Amino acid sequence: MKRVFRAGSLIQVAHARNVLLSAGIQSELRNQYLAGALGDLPMLETWPQLYVEDADEQAALRALARAATVPSGASWTCELCGEVLEPQFTSCWRCGSTASSIP
């Protein structure tokens, strides 16, 4: 198994795990309960971590890198309700409508 992600927050690691799951990559969450050992153990060793099978390492790293990339482009306006949204959103947070064309 290879470690592909770790962070000081379980929320960040859970998000990374969801990114991997959506890419079809199974992962194992480790150290989710070690925060209480901070001080007795080195800080980075107590952080939650994600591990994947050796064969999935490169695909997992690519999926995480894609998820960390901020989409560029112009904001778009929802055709249904008129809400202005940033380019990273593909559906309207207000009405749920999907963007018909993102610039």
CATH for 2-68, options being 2.40.10, 3.30.750, 3.30.70, 3.30.565? 3.30.70
Tally helices (H) and strands (E) across the chain: 3, 5
**What per-residue confidence (pLDDT) applies to 98?**
85
**CA 81 vs CA 23, 28, 53, 62, 100: distances in Å:** 31, 41, 45, 35, 13
Give residue-wise pLDDT tens across range 32-49.
888 778 788 888 888 999
- Across the beta sheet with 49-52, the strand order is 2-6, 49-52, 28-30
Per residue in 54-100, pLDDT (tens digit) is 999 999 999 999 999 888 888 999 999 999 999 888 899 999 888 77
> Where in the sequence of the chain do the CATH 3.30.70 domains occur?
2-68
Report CA torsion sign: 32, 28, 65, 86.
negative
